[in-house]
Amino acid sequence: MRRRSMRYASFLKGVIGTKDQAKYSECIVTDISATGAKLFLTGPVTLPEECFLHIESRQVHLGCDIVYHQDNVVGVKFQRPDLPMPEAVEQGFARARSR
């Protein structure tokens, strides 16, 4: 199965948590695309099926669904993949990938 969007390797600091922000965990976004991301959690946390991902350095705040959660690795699918990612954000991911 081919991916619908370009995936970018990254090393971005993020926060994943519940939509009401009652529970959250810092994370590292290890790769990202317009439709989802792979995250490494810095600590154990129980997340609901729906959550949010916030990447401060890119000014991105996205609703997401948990696709998988194994140990400290979480895969998420963005709830609104039809929204175009701002060009500056996409270029930033491309630069992070080339480092």
pTM: 0.76
Which amino acid would we find at residue 70? Answer: Q
Residue 70 tokens read as 């194994």
Give the strand pairing for 50-55 and 8-17: antiparallel
pLDDT digits (tens, 9 = 90+) for 52-87: 999 888 888 889 999 999 989 999 999 986 555 555
Name the residue ranges covered by the structural domains of the chain: 8-94
Higher pLDDT, 23 or 77: 77
pLDDT of residue 72: 92
CATH of the domain spanning 8-94: 2.40.10.220
